[in-house]
A and B are shown apart, each in its own frame.
Chain A
Amino acid sequence: MSEPGIQYPETDDEVARIVSEACANRRPIEIRGGGTKRGYGRPLQVASALSVEKLSGITNYDPSELVMAARAGTPLEEIEAALALNKQMLTFEPMDHRPLLGASGVPTIGGVFAGNISGPRRISAGAARDSLLGVRFVNGSGEIIKSGGRVMKNVTGLDLVKLMAGSWGTLGVLCEVIFKVLPRPETMATIVVKGLNDAQAAEAMAAAMGMSVEVSGAAHLPESVVHKIADGALKGGPATVLRLEGLEPSVAVRRERLVEEMHRRGEVSVLDADATTSVWRDIRDVKPFAGASAGVSVKPVWRVSVAPSAGHQLVAALRLKTGVDAFFDWQGGLVWLQMEADPEADLVRKYIKALGGGHATLVRADAATRAAVPVFEPQPAALEALTKRIKEQFDPRAILNPGRMSSAV
């Protein structure tokens, strides 16, 4: 299903040739994975695109080494299916943006790493960037560069692998990614504490994370969103949810200890493994704010990352000024905000600063808003200058996704 103006390279060398030509002609190109978010973020002004759709397939997977290598265009579903066959998983639990964005398309493993997309387990197991061990990419001059490898520990030179994660295709076209995987937990359970307000929930989550029970997910679902999770399984007052994962005997012991501790704070119940799966999938995919289908105007959604104890304070402050609905993952540190009408960028960012720092990304908004509001957090001048210098070292003619992250890169 090729579209005019889009090139579909099948090998790294072809990627390199296409980028070299674009570089020589100073013709910017859009880098496309599955395109699950095309039409979101800062609009690109480009004449042509490079799709990695045909750079597809798992290239190396030895379950006993806990490492997988795949070409960047490999659909995430294919990766997850291969892992599931071996009772393994991606540690960082990448979210599926399609419900939120009302988009179709096939999320790719390259797109996941290019966006450093991490879900609830980020709080215990690290982000996508922490799992990424090696990359091969084509820089903006058309050179094939590799960094990292198939090993868990590597301090050989500068860690370009981390830099590529979360660079949104502005530094290079990822051709192959190598990443760490983990055994799937044998079992799971979720402790549900009912009736806590946002501040009490933040405290309860901090207490749980401070215990030695290894909570692998900590989220708070206020009254306004709770009925939209897992088909209403948690409805009836706000719910604070704490996930345990691991071997059967471990989860049994830890569940008991955690229930005992949480009992003092509210009404406690426990969800089994199946219910746990659906609750956390919906939290991961921001189900409460799921959008209408493409084209229909929807309320703006922010993704905010702050210190866990600051999340509920941010929401409380915003509520005094504007209409906002919110829920919390990462112990309160990942705040999903759905604004009533106006995205209120200045207000959101002002409060984040006042609460000790962090950042906000406008994940969903109409085109006019996205053109007017910085989608990604603007950087302080010194970092902005550094960011520009780094971009120049990878993509001297600014042909890769120009303007995707900010007007500078």
Chain B
Amino acid sequence: MKKCVSLLLVISMVVVLLSACAKKEPVKVDNKDGENVTNVDNGTDGEKEDPVKIRIYYSDNATLPFKDDWLTVTEAEKMFNVDFEFEVIPIADYATKVSLALNTGNNTPDVILYQTTKGENASLALNGALVPISDYADFTPHFNARVEAFGLTETVDKLKLADDKRYYLPSLFDIPFYDGGLILREDFLDAEGLEAPKTFDDLYKILKAYKEKNPDSYPLTILAGPRVLYRMTMPSYGVSVGKNGASGTNTLSWDYDKKEYFAGAISEGYKGYISYLAKLYAEGLLDPEMADPINGDAWSQKMATGKAMATYAYYDQIGGLTGASDIEGFKLQMYPSLEGPAGAHHQPKSRTGSGIMFPAATAKRDDFERVVRTIDNVFFSEEGARLWCLGVEGVTYTEENGKITYSDELVNAKEGVYKSLQVNHGCGSDVTQLVWINEREMTKYDENYSRINAEVAAMGNVIQEIPPTPLFDDMTAEDAGVLQTPLFDTFEVWADAFITGRKDVEADWDAYVKEMKTLRIDEFNKLYNDNLGK
């Protein structure tokens, strides 16, 4: 009897456990394309109605902590007759929270900001956890118009998944910014009578000159990690490989002329690049600590104390340093991309970014159409775009004959117009600003920054497009993954060895190429090329 009861209890426990694990039926979203479309423009129809309630996930960055009384938020609610309930989630854990909400379908918000359909989201989307928003194009007139105006139709089309549907509204850029690059001590150039660098040889000469004056320094350092340096410089050598290489393949690169992938990691371009870094390292011109990520504080210390004089970083970061250094005349300046064997290029950038997703449950709301139209209005209409970029006319800025003038409070702010608008009013947050117009953005920065951007724009194709992502099915993705991991590991080991001189680029190059070929880099490359534009 006792045994029977125990057995029964164990069985019931197992059943309960298994039922908890049972897969939820994917929520089906009906395709309502073209049905019941009413012409709601700029939310004016909504004024007679109660505000539409929208629960929204927001990715919070500690450098720009969200405030629900930001001018942008309160004004957007008033302008578009909406009642937002922001779920502010720390950025480090944002992916976890989103994944949990989408996987379980429980406690999901109506809208999720700052997402793409890369990685896990793609399979979630294909399994019905997300609304295929491209099916509801009639509900997003402002987004459609903006895509067309920016000439992004083809780019946005490429965001479709294997089922030929797009599952998010990406943020849109008319022209990508040159927001970071080579930053070095202009005061040193002036004192030594050196010209501003144009090529990597010029940079070498400058670093060499600094090292002679300051033998205990390592003139070139970087912020964050080697990837920042690689991303910003490699394209000038015709390759983009390694962690965060633009292609995401780690070892392949994109040939912009032939429009196909090639084995960048074993190309002559990469050989030239790694030789250059090896030379810098051997002569003590490259910070040996750069193999590990260098945090902002250590980086600031190196620059401010003169342990380093050049760096690859972002323009925003110069300001804080200039005033902090004890070195007399200390002045940092950002320079356009240096010219290498393949021309002068910065890191490739996409003209679309993270954007807005709708979980499948949202489509079940009776007012689904109104929710989508409101979101389209809030983030993509001209009024909305201006609000998230500039704030409110008459409060944060005024405009006369197309010239934008910011309020005295912003102009005189210690941290500058851009940062002050961000922190105090919520303008220019990557999460909520989905329309980026270069010319409008430049009004927030000092003249120097605008001048550099204009200079870079005049140089032509400095910022290239991010290479297309092949559309793998699950099996091919697995095959690609199996090939990619050992290739990348080997690439990393050799890259370190080449830079630090443990392996000689000239003498050991063939051995390296042979090893990469043994690991089937050519097959990996073919897999990518074969699945392009499928």
* Bind each other: no
